[in-house]
Amino acid sequence: MTTSLQDRYAAALMNTFGPPQLVLSRGKGARVWDEDGREYVDLLGGIAVNALGHAHPAVVEAVTGQLSTLGHVSNFFATVPQITLAERLLDLVAPPRVEEAAHQAGSRGKVFFTNSGTEANEAALKLTRRTGRTQVIAAEGSFHGRTMGALALTSKAAYRQPFEPLPGHVTFVPYGDPEALREAVTDETAALVLEPLQGEAGVVEPPVGYLETARAVTREHGALLWLDEVQTGIGRTGAWFAAAADPDVAPDLVTLAKGLGGGLPIGACIGLGQAADLLQPGHHGTTFGGNPVACAAALAVLDTIAEDGLMEHATGLGDRVRAAVAVDRRVTTVRGRGLLIGVDVTVDAARVVAAARRHGFIVNATGPHTVRLAPPLVLGDDDADQFLAAWPGILDDAEDAGDSAASADHLGAP
């Protein structure tokens, strides 16, 4: 990025993200180019958003075709893409069973469309208040968004404290601890909200049976089970959902965003069973949610993932990447499913991110020693092989940068 662009950015945009690492000018597939023409393999995918990569023909065609006919109508009116997408999502998360065949369409659940994941979680939080209860149980290490309601469910103190008091009352429990759930959920609990894998915490997966316990405990106390699949949904983990479609988990609420729109802003709050009818006219709203252009993009994403076998691809390629990065002596743990991968390293993760960028790869750090990979589902074997070949050198560079910094600190010490 040139100095003038840095200056223009700093002068015109609020300093909520710090200085940007790059100014990107274009992308195609799993690659992007910066303003200086340098090419990078994108292993972050807009933080698990660009499921089909950049400039995918199916998304481009869907968006331009829809925009040329009807771009926005508000929610005083309905559109075909909006209705079709809601039906498709319900079919994916709660496939119709034989015994339901006589029921009217849509009885399995209903969808409220938003523009982002945090808005989907805001809608779900408001919905939980319609139970007549106020307590929500959330997990330590959770991330559910930055707006005030979603932030109240997000455990990281650095995000929360500048804006307290936040909406209550929220109780945090250790993630992956079934006994903690049994102790925390009571007859006063409105909902328990969990991520099937905690993305922001470094792609942390709970032990086997944890989500089934969450279902049993909430059902026992008449509380809602809410799965935040904003990062894990839409093929990211090698299935449409990491857990929401599992009949042994059977959540009441599911929130989605990120990969759903393939780069277009869209989120969804899905209420299943009785939860589908808790929000009624006047309880909630949105101007842009369910916009026909965003819904058309989402339908193109769903079609392409299914037709091109991208969930199977994510599973196979993810397995191979996790196994290969784990071989290096500076890797202590590798976690994840599909193409959502957390890598714990002995070197400083921020230095790994910078070194990767110098080698032509975009990754990000979720903690002092954790690197996250969430590439487009269309990431090719060649691009993955290129990264895996470069991985030891990236860690060498990060290690050398740490040694140089330590030496400089030592020389500067009194």
Check which CATH number belongs to the domain holding 386 and give it.
Answer: 3.90.1150.10
Res 323: pLDDT:
98
Q: Which helix (H) or strand (E) holds 217?
A: helix 210-221
**Claim to verify: residue 300 and residue 328 sit in the same structural domain:** no
β-sheet with 224-228: strand ranges across: 109-114, 267-272, 253-256, 224-228, 189-194, 135-139, 170-173
| Catalytic machinery residues | 143, 228, 258
**Claim to verify: residue 149 and residue 168 sit in the same structural domain:** yes
Residues forming beta bridges with residue 170, ordered by sequence position: 136
**Claim to verify: residue 323 and residue 303 sit in the same structural domain:** no
- 249, 282, 307 — which closes off a domain? 307
Q: Which one, of 257, 210, 282, lies nearest residue 89 by Cα?
A: 257
How large a percentage of the chain has pLDDT more than 70? Answer: 94
Per-residue pLDDT of 87-125, as tens digits, reads 999 999 998 764 454 344 446 899 999 999 999 999 999
- 251, 285, 307 — which closes off a domain? 307
- 307, 341, 359 — which closes off a domain? 307
Q: Residue 194's domain is classified under what CATH number?
A: 3.40.640.10
**Claim to verify: residue 335 and residue 362 sit in the same structural domain:** yes
Structural domain of 219: 61-307
Average pLDDT, stretch 154-163?
96
**Claim to verify: residue 29 and residue 79 sit in the same structural domain:** no
Res 405: pLDDT:
64
**Claim to verify: residue 228 and residue 287 sit in the same structural domain:** yes
Per-residue pLDDT of 49-87, as tens digits, reads 999 999 999 999 999 999 999 999 999 999 999 999 999
CA atoms within 13 A on the CB side of 89: 34
Phi, psi of 71 (to 5 degrees): -100, -40
Distance separating alpha carbons of residues 147 and 170, to the nearest angstrom: 15
Distance separating alpha carbons of residues 313 and 304, to the nearest angstrom: 13
**Claim to verify: residue 268 and residue 325 sit in the same structural domain:** no
**Claim to verify: residue 73 and residue 50 sit in the same structural domain:** no
Res 384: pLDDT:
98
Q: What is the DSSP string of 107-121?
A: TTEEEEEESSHHHHH
**Claim to verify: residue 11 and residue 94 sit in the same structural domain:** no
What amino acid occupies position 53?
A: G
Per-residue pLDDT of 183-223, as tens digits, reads 999 999 999 999 999 999 999 999 999 999 999 999 999 99
**Claim to verify: residue 332 and residue 290 sit in the same structural domain:** no
- The rounded Cα 61 to chain-centroid distance in angstroms is 25
Res 98: pLDDT:
46
Per-residue pLDDT of 219-268, as tens digits, reads 999 999 999 999 999 999 999 999 999 999 999 999 999 999 999 999 99
Average pLDDT, stretch 318-345?
98
Q: Does residue 330 surpass a pLDDT of 80?
A: yes
Q: Domain count of the chain?
A: 2
The pLDDT confidence band at residue 409, using thresholds 50, 70 and 90, is low
DSSP 215: H
**Claim to verify: residue 164 and residue 273 sit in the same structural domain:** yes
Please give the mean pLDDT across all residues of the chain.
94
**Claim to verify: residue 94 and residue 229 sit in the same structural domain:** yes
The pLDDT confidence band at residue 356, using thresholds 50, 70 and 90, is very high
Distance separating alpha carbons of residues 237 and 385, to the nearest angstrom: 20
Q: Which one, of 256, 247, 240, lies nearest residue 303 by Cα?
A: 240
